Amino acid sequence: MRKILVTGAAGFIGFHLSQLLMKRGESVVGLDNLNSYYDVTLKESRLALLEKDPRFRFVRAELADRQAMEALFAAEKPEIVVHLAAQAGVRYSLENPHAYVDSNLVGFMNVLEGCRRHQVRHLVFASSSSVYGGNTRMPFSVHDNVDHPVSLYAATKKANELMAHSYAALYALPCTGLRFFTVYGPWGRPDMALFLFTRAILEDRPIDIFNEGQMKRDFTYIDDIVEGVTRVMARPPAPDAAWNGDCPDPATSFAPYRIYNIGNHQPAALMDFISILEGHLGRKAKKNFLPMQAGDVPATFADVEALRADTGFAPQTPLATGIGRFVAWYREYYRCPRD
């Protein structure tokens, strides 16, 4: 039984990943600060389920607290670290940019130092599809340059990739970055579209639809995300002998470092997404069409061939199936009876 540190364990992805790891016989140390970015009660409910398993131990701490992070690594000595904790959200980065520096930059630095000093065998960390920023060539490929972020959130995620590469090169720390594409499903984040739309429709309130509805997203179901994470965890990267500094591939390196997309590789039009949700709820949405928001992009689309080639896995849950599971969870958790 390995000991795995999962940061952000009370968060959406961290909760599901911790459950899956324990189901597969792993011991999980879960770190979270239970901040109030969204409903703390939801985080506490996730945590309560995790703590029913004796293989789970919870540590409440701030990523940016250097002493707390040093003490955590020294005490626990995890074999593998899956770093999911971060200040999330593109739109919130316009309101509170300092939160992103504290959590996503200072906090990640503390994670890297903990991994280096305590001989962690593999650091797997969450990046984001947001790093593609101004890129317009579809599908988004890990082999493409991503130097034009359009939000501070995206810039911090790109910075995480660069910071991890430097530690892979300097200290031979195996690092794998995962660019997640619009994750959804049961126990999801209340600031995400599916949650916002479901709540508003059930409360007979209008939903805000940005870019006048002309949006596409590569919606990726949570079970596919965590399966992809576990596949990657089992494959610490080695230096790529074919890497060439005259024509550098951003996805690989002369160091033990890799980048993968994890996305459904089937982008859906936002209006189709809403239509599927309306079908599961048995209600029509009142729609408030708005212009594009600052920091947003019109479309995302993941190329997952690198993930498929290296792990034999690619997400495949149909959108209608995933939305149906979310709606069923939402009605049960919030005690929303059918009409």
The H or E element containing residue 45 is: helix 40-50
Task: Report whether pLDDT(62) > 70.
Answer: yes
- Tell me how far apart the alpha carbons of residues 180 and 278 are, in angstroms, rounded to a whole number: 26
Could you tell me if 270 and 326 are in contact, meaning their C-beta atoms sit under 8 angstroms apart?
no
User: Is residue 61's pLDDT more than 90?
Assistant: yes
Give the tens place of pLDDT for each residue, 143-197: 999 999 999 999 999 999 999 999 999 999 999 999 999 999 999 999 999 999 9
Mean pLDDT to the nearest integer, 31-51: 96
336 falls in which pLDDT band (50, 70, 90)? Answer: confident
Distance CA 285, CA 282 (A): 10
pLDDT tens digits, one per residue of 221-248: 999 999 999 999 999 999 999 999 999 9
The H or E element spanning position 269 is: strand 268-269
For the record, the structure tokens of 204 come out as 């007979």
**CB contact at 8 A, 289 and 212:** yes
Residue 84 clears pLDDT 90, i.e. is over it: yes
101-144 tens-digit pLDDT: 999 999 999 999 999 999 999 999 999 999 999 999 999 999 99
Reply yes or no on whether 153 is catalytic. yes
Q: Report whether pLDDT(338) > 80.
A: no
pTM for the full predicted model: 0.96
User: What's the pLDDT at 198?
Assistant: 97
Active-site pick, 92, 100, 132, 153: 153
